[in-house]
C-alpha cells in the first residue's frame, strides 16, 4: 500500500495534478499547428528535452449553449461560463467546441430522441444587430445584416480568453448546420429552423432571402452562388478572426453538420487568407454527419476533421493514419452517447476524443442523468496519460497487442487497453533490457505497479483488477 501511494504521488507531481486530483491551471503556450512528424496531433511549438516538438492531445466536453444563451420564454436561464470552466478543469479537460447558433429558436421537438413535446427555446445574442424597422417572425425586431453586434463579439472574446487562462483550447464554431440540414423537417410543421434564420426574408431589413429553391421550407443558407449572402458571411468570418486572432488557444470550426462542400472549403480559405494578414494563424476544421464525408474532408484545405458514424466511426473506431488531426466527437456518432471504452479505444487509435455533453440538462431537459460522468472522467485520465510520454513518437500499433488496442513507441513505451480485463499478450520484440509495467483503472484513474519485465519477445500480462473490469497496461523504459 505504501508503494502504491508513493507511486500515485510521484505521478501527480509529474503531471502537475493538484491535491484534489485535477489538473493544475496553466495558460496555453502557443497557437496550434499540425505536428510535422505525427499529424494525429497538434503541436504548440514548445520543445521537449531532446529538442523534438511537443504533441498536444485534445479532449473535453462541449455543450450547446456555452456561447449563445438558450432559454424558455417562461423560465429564463443564463449560462454560467465560469462554473462551466470549473467543471472542465475538475475533469482535466483541455478542449471545447464553442457553439454558434444561427437560429433565433430551437424547437426541442426536433430532438425527437429526447422529447416529444413542443418546447421552444429562444436564443441570443446573434452576430447581427436587431434594429428594425419591423418585426421578425419571432416577434422581435428584424436584423440589419450590415451591422454586426458588438455584444456578440465581446462575449466571444471574453469566453475564449477565459478558457485560455485555464489552459483550455477553444474551437470557435462559425456556423451551425444541424438545424437546417437535419432538424428543420422534424416537427409537425416543417420549416421551423428556416423561419428562425436571419437570412429569411421576413427576418431582415436588407432584402436577403436564402430560399434559393423557393420551397418556403428549407433555406439554402450555407452554399455559394449569391454574392450578397456570401458577402455578409465573409464579413462575419473576418470579424470573428479579428476578435480572437491574438489568442493562442484558438481553433476554428466551419460549421456543425452542414454546408455545401464548395461553401465549406470557401469558408476555410476565407479564414486562411484573412489570417495571413494577421500576427497569428490558427487551424480550421470540418465536421462529419453533414453534407461532406470523410474523403472530401480529408481532401479539403482544413487542418483537422471530425469524422462521424456515416464515415464508419462508432463503438470501435479504426486507427487514424491520415495527415489531418482527428477530433473524434460523440456528437457525430450518437448525438449524446459513448462510454469509457470508446474514449480509450479512440485515444489508443490516434484520435482526440471529445464529448457532446448534456451538462446541466437545460437544453434537452431533465431526462438525462449523470450516467455520463464516467465518460468525462475517462477523457481526463487519457489526458493524464498522454502527457507522461512523448506522444509525438507514438502511433497506433494494433498488431502489438492481443486486444488490438495499442499506442506505442516500440522499444520505449506501450499503452495497451484491455476492454474486459483479464490477460493480454504484448509484443516487446523491439524492446531490449528491462522495462517497467503499470496498471491504470480506466474509469477511476488509480495506478497499480506491475513490476519489471524483460523485452525481446512477446510477453503475457494479467490485470490486477476484478474479473471483466476494463484495464489499461503501461509498459515503458524508465
In angstroms, what CA-CA distances link 339 with 291, 314, 445, 454? 27, 11, 15, 34
Give the pLDDT mean for 137-151: 97
Range 397-476: architecture per CATH: Sandwich (2.60)
Structure confidence at residue 22 as a pLDDT band (50, 70, 90): very low
Angle between helices 340-348 and 373-386 (to 10 degrees): 20
Angle between helices 227-244 and 150-165 (to 10 degrees): 40
pTM of the model: 0.92
Looking at per-residue confidence, does 342 or 13 come out higher?
342
Give the pLDDT mean for 196-200: 98
Helix spans in 349-398 (H): 373-386
Supply 124's cell numbers: 441570443
Is residue 95 predicted with pLDDT exceeding 70? yes
Encode pLDDT of 233-259 as tens digits: 999 999 999 999 999 999 999 999 999
In angstroms, what CA-CA distances link 172 with 58, 63, 199, 282? 15, 13, 21, 11
Mean residue pLDDT of the chain comes to 90
Looking at per-residue confidence, does 110 or 68 come out higher?
68
Cβ pair 61, 93 in contact under 8 A: yes
396: three-class secondary structure by DSSP: strand
Residue 328 and residue 388: Cα distance in Å, rounded?
Answer: 22
Give the pLDDT mean for 91-119: 83
Residue 470 and residue 348: Cα distance in Å, rounded?
Answer: 14
Each domain of the chain, given as residue ranges in start order, spans: 60-391, 397-476
Residue 219 and residue 194: Cα distance in Å, rounded?
Answer: 6
The share of the chain scoring above pLDDT 70, in percent, equals 91
Residue 107 and residue 182: Cα distance in Å, rounded?
Answer: 13
63: three-class secondary structure by DSSP: coil
Residue 236 and residue 304: Cα distance in Å, rounded?
Answer: 22
Encode pLDDT of 11-21 as tens digits: 333 333 332 23
Is residue 75 predicted with pLDDT exceeding 60? no
Helix spans in 44-123 (H): 81-90
Residue 406 and residue 353: Cα distance in Å, rounded?
Answer: 16
Cβ pair 389, 476 in contact under 8 A: yes
397: three-class secondary structure by DSSP: coil
DSSP string, 267-329: HHHHHHHHHTTSS----EEEESSSS--HHHHHHSS-SEEE--GGGT-SSSPPPP-SSSEEEEE
Give the pLDDT mean for 82-89: 97
CATH number of the domain located at residue range(s) 60-391 in this protein:
3.20.20.80
Q: Give the pLDDT confidence score for residue 115 in this predicted structure.
A: 55
Q: Give the pLDDT confidence score for residue 475 in this predicted structure.
A: 98
Q: What are phi and psi of 136, to 5 degrees?
A: -80, 180
Which residue is associated with the grid cell 486486444? Answer: 403
Residue 42 and residue 34: Cα distance in Å, rounded?
Answer: 4
The share of the chain scoring above pLDDT 90, in percent, equals 81
Chain Cα centroid distance, residue 438: 29
Amino acid at each position: 500500500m505504501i508503494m502504491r501511494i508513493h507511486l500515485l504521488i510521484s505521478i501527480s507531481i509529474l503531471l502537475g495534478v493538484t491535491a484534489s486530483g485535477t489538473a493544475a491551471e496553466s495558460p496555453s503556450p502557443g497557437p496550434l499547428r499540425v505536428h510535422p512528424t505525427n499529424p494525429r496531433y497538434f503541436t504548440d511549438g514548445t520543445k521537449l528535452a531532446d529538442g523534438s516538438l511537443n504533441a498536444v492531445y485534445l479532449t473535453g466536453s462541449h455543450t450547446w449553449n456555452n456561447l449563445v444563451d438558450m432559454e424558455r420564454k417562461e423560465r429564463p436561464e443564463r449560462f454560467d461560463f465560469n462554473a462551466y470552466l470549473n467543471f472542465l478543469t475538475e475533469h482535466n479537460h483541455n478542449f471545447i467546441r464553442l457553439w454558434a447558433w444561427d437560429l433565433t429558436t430551437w424547437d426541442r421537438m426536433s430532438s425527437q430522441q429526447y422529447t416529444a413535446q413542443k418546447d421552444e427555446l429562444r436564443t441570443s445574442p446573434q452576430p447581427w444587430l436587431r434594429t428594425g424597422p419591423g418585426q421578425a417572425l419571432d416577434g422581435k425586431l428584424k436584423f440589419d445584416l450590415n451591422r454586426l453586434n458588438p455584444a456578440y463579439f465581446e462575449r466571444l472574446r471574453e469566453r475564449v480568453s477565459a478558457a485560455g487562462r485555464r489552459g483550455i483550447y477553444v474551437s470557435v464554431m462559425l456556423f451551425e448546420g444541424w438545424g437546417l440540414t437535419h432538424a428543420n423537417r422534424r416537427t409537425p410543421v416543417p420549416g421551423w429552423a428556416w423561419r428562425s434564420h436571419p437570412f429569411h426574408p421576413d427576418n431582415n431589413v436588407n432584402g436577403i432571402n436564402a430560399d434559393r429553391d423557393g420551397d418556403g421550407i428549407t433555406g439554402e443558407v450555407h452554399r455559394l452562388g449569391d454574392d450578397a449572402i456570401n458577402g455578409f458571411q465573409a464579413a462575419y468570418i473576418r470579424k470573428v478572426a479579428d476578435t480572437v486572432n491574438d489568442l493562442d488557444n484558438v481553433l476554428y470550426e466551419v460549421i456543425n453538420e452542414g454546408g455545401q462542400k464548395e461553401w465549406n472549403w470557401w469558408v476555410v480559405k476565407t479564414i486562411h487568407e484573412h489570417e495571413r494578414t494577421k500576427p497569428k494563424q490558427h487551424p480550421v476544421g470540418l465536421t462529419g454527419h453533414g453534407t461532406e464525408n470523410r474523403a472530401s474532408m480529408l481532401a479539403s484545405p482544413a487542418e483537422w476533421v471530425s469524422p462521424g458514424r456515416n464515415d464508419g466511426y462508432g463503438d470501435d473506431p479504426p486507427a487514424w493514419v491520415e495527415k489531418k488531426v482527428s477530433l473524434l466527437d460523440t456528437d457525430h456518432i450518437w448525438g449524446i452517447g459513448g462510454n469509457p471504452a470508446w474514449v480509450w479505444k479512440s485515444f489508443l487509435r490516434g484520435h482526440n476524443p471529445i464529448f457532446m455533453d448534456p451538462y446541466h440538462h437545460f437544453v434537452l431537459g431533465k431526462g438525462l442523468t449523470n450516467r455520463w460522468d464516467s465518460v468525462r472522467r475517462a477523457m481526463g485520465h487519457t489526458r493524464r496519460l498522454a502527457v507522461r510520454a512523448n506522444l509525438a513518437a507514438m502511433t497506433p500499433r494494433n498488431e502489438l497487442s492481443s486486444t488490438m488496442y495499442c499506442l506505442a513507441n516500440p522499444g520505449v513505451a506501450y499503452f495497451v487497453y484491455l476492454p474486459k480485463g483479464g490477460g493480454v499478450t504484448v509484443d516487446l520484440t523491439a524492446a531490449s533490457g528491462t522495462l517497467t509495467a503499470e496498471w491504470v483503472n480506466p474509469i477511476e484513474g488509480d495506478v497499480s505497479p506491475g513490476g519489471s519485465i524483460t523485452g525481446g519477445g512477446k510477453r503475457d500480462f494479467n490485470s490486477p483488477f476484478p474479473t471483466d473490469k476494463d484495464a489499461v497496461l503501461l509498459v515503458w523504459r524508465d
